[in-house]
Amino acid sequence: MDASPLRVAVLGASGYAGGELVRFLSAHPGAQITFLGARDSAGKPLAQVHPHLASLPIASMVLAAVDADAVAEVADVVFLALPNGTTSPLVPGFLEAGMRVVDLAGDFRLPADRYPEWYGFEHPAPGWLGKAVYGLPELFAERISGAALVANPGCYPTPVILCISPLLAAGLIETGPIRVDGKTGSSGAGRAATESSLFASTEESIRPYRVPRHQHTPEMEHGIELATGIAVPVIFVPHLVPTVRGVLITAYASLTDGVTTDHLTDALMASYASEPFVRILAAGEMVDSKRTRGTNVVELQAVADPRTGTAVLVGAVDNLIKGAAGQAIQNFNIANGFDQTTALPTLAVYP
């Protein structure tokens, strides 16, 4: 680790995840923000785009159009907080210029053949997919260390893969279809103004969406297989509820005969005993997404219901932090030799 900080670019700095990246990086002793990129907000200073960051030293830095050459001149590492489908054309250039990349979009998370069906586009750079490491640090830290390209996981797959993988690997749940029910708040839809994200549309509303075609579905299947070597089909049904932040997933798997809640809980605790961002809840407590808000923590829990042969697996994260910007910083830390907890909060702003 050098004494001088790494020069860092954030592309997509005007969005919610981009704002969180800037907030965390501004307090990171090993990073110096040298470039802020945006599309529609290009030309505006940071303080205008994110008034809550007005007290930062870089508050007057003007967001620039996303220009790969300009980025490469001033940055060693680039965070891509851009829409799905827009980062795959950019990444090869950054890598060829010797930069390191953390990609928060979905463009490098899956095998090439999944993109047409689930993302609606042919992958433009399939040859580069093999260079990407799937950035779920609690499972793949060794591969992330030193990686040039980290595909930062989606918000929903993060808790799903973390709670299912150890139990599947240990044979405590069966390999049949896993049904994943997701709930999240409106920040996951981003900062774009749409009628469905209005306060008036969202308050007192509970509703599913994109059933059963959400693009995080194959990511859950692929991540579980990466971690365990076992292929299981996953169906995923996400729901919007009236929160700003928070993802909570409830997964239903078939329980192996004789397995108890204690077996499941013990397996989770053993897997993540040394992980600073994982909190396993014991019997009598229940996961609460509110306790993860503002933190990089994931809460996990498992309950066995022998009566119906079901394992109920629950996980929660702050979708903008452990589900996006925080995990990206965690990956940055691991890839570049910092302690993985650097600049990342673990204590919720509660209530």
Positions in 35-74 near its own copies (CB under 8 A):
50-56
**Which of 71-79, 138-146, 302-310, 327-335 is the region at the interface with its own copies (rule: CB under 8 A)?**
302-310
Q: Residue 227, SS3? A: helix
Choose between 127 and 307: whose C-beta lies nearer to its own copies.
307
| Position among 111, 116, 177, 337 found at the interface with its own copies (CB under 8 A) | 177
Choose between 133 and 247: whose C-beta lies nearer to its own copies.
247
Q: Name the pairing type of β-strands 132-134 and 178-184.
A: unpaired
**Options 144, 155, 253, 302, the catalytic residue:** 155
| Position among 126, 207, 260, 262 found at the interface with its own copies (CB under 8 A) | 207
Number of residues interacting with its own copies: please give it, by CB under 8 A: 79
- C-alpha distances in Å from residue 14, one per residue of 21, 108, 183, 229: 10, 22, 25, 38
| Position among 43, 73, 116, 205 found at the interface with its own copies (CB under 8 A) | 205
Q: Does 109 bind its own copies (CB under 8 A)?
A: no
Do residues 220 and 234 lie in contact, with contact meaning Cβ atoms separated by under 8 Å? yes
* CB of residue 194 to its own copies, shortest distance in Å: 5
Do residues 56 and 79 lie in contact, with contact meaning Cβ atoms separated by under 8 Å? no
Site for its own copies in 221-260 (CB under 8 A): 233-235, 237, 239, 241-246, 248, 250, 252
What are the two backbone dihedrals, phi and then psi, of residue 73, each rounded to the nearest 5 degrees? -70, -30
* CB of residue 29 to its own copies, shortest distance in Å: 15
Do residues 322 and 296 lie in contact, with contact meaning Cβ atoms separated by under 8 Å? yes
Q: Residue 203, SS3? A: coil
Do residues 344 and 296 lie in contact, with contact meaning Cβ atoms separated by under 8 Å? yes
* CB of residue 99 to its own copies, shortest distance in Å: 27
| Position among 291, 300, 327, 333 found at the interface with its own copies (CB under 8 A) | 291
CA–CA separation, 222 vs 216, rounded Å? 10
Do residues 135 and 144 lie in contact, with contact meaning Cβ atoms separated by under 8 Å? yes
User: What are the tokens at 90?
Assistant: 């950019």
**Which of 83-91, 149-157, 163-171, 291-299 is the region at the interface with its own copies (rule: CB under 8 A)?**
291-299
Q: Does 120 bind its own copies (CB under 8 A)?
A: no
Choose between 70 and 244: whose C-beta lies nearer to its own copies.
244
User: What are the tokens at 157?
Assistant: 């797959």
**Calculated CA dihedral for residues 268, 272, 278, 281, nearest 10 degrees:** 30
The burial class, CB within 10 Å (0-12 / 13-18 / 19+), for 61 is middle
CA–CA separation, 198 vs 144, rounded Å? 38
Choose between 274 and 308: whose C-beta lies nearer to its own copies.
308
CA–CA separation, 263 vs 129, rounded Å? 37
Q: Which amino acid is at 94?
A: F
CA–CA separation, 61 vs 282, rounded Å? 47
Site for its own copies in 143-162 (CB under 8 A): none
**Which of 4-12, 91-99, 118-126, 279-287 is the region at the interface with its own copies (rule: CB under 8 A)?**
279-287
Q: Does 200 bind its own copies (CB under 8 A)?
A: yes
**Which of 90-98, 130-138, 147-155, 184-192 is the region at the interface with its own copies (rule: CB under 8 A)?**
184-192
Q: Is 163 a catalytic residue?
A: no
Q: Does 297 bind its own copies (CB under 8 A)?
A: yes
Choose between 89 and 233: whose C-beta lies nearer to its own copies.
233
* CB of residue 325 to its own copies, shortest distance in Å: 12
What are the residue numbers of the active site?
Answer: 155
